[in-house]
Structure 1
Amino acid sequence: MLLDGVNHIATLSHDAARLGAFYRDVFEAEIGETVPHGMHGEETMTVFRIGPHTELNVFTVPSSDGADRQTPMWHRGRLDHFGLHAASAEAFSTIRERLVAHGASDGTVNDFGGAYSMFFRDPDGLEGEVLLPKDATPAPPV
């Protein structure tokens, strides 16, 4: 397999501190610092580390009502995006080639400090991301 799991799931919340306390207390998650995110100045991101290479990326966006849509089931809306964890640098490169061939990505690789990242859109239009941690492997050939 080219992937070895989910890297992160991005979700919206009105109160990242409250949510972080829950995940810390119940699941022993490691809760990162809340930092500004995005280009509009209102958005923040807090990373909840919930497994060896799995995170919840919790965003607060005051102008969004996305966090309010919780019920009923099947009417909650879609995820903002998800991140998949590449199994290796070679797998990352293979995935990149395939995404470009399918017209799902332009193949741009981003350097996000701790990881290389590449965004794509699936056939339903949902944004996804493939990540390769820098500390786990050498840089992907691009």
Structure 2
Amino acid sequence: MKKDKEERATCYEIKWKPPVHDVLKINIDGSMDPANASGGWGLVFRDELRVVAGLGASHMEHLQDVLHSEAEAYLQSLFQAQIWCISRVHVELTHNFWCNRSREASNGAIFTDIKFQISLNFSVFSIL
């Protein structure tokens, strides 16, 4: 029984990896309550020493699905980086954001805006 618990804990253990020097890493998450089509987003910017350089969170309304909440969270992180004059970032996203492409068409405008914001406003941009 103890071995099973240890295996499960190890299986879900995720280690935070720092960005390279002079780049801030952004961790992002979005959530949604399908009962009322609302949710929230959160983000944190950290440097290679794990020092928090900025954070944010807010409520969202009129969400279509979970992918929509994730995409909005991603977009908000890009807007925050611009407001804070951060142009060198590394983004870490949830697995759901990249693997759930079947509903990308319903959120196509957000993905287009994300790509545009990246190309326009960042000198260093990498994604994990």
Structure 1 length-normalised TM: 0.24
User: Structure 1 or 2: larger helix share?
Assistant: 2
User: Structure 1 or 2: larger strand share?
Assistant: 1
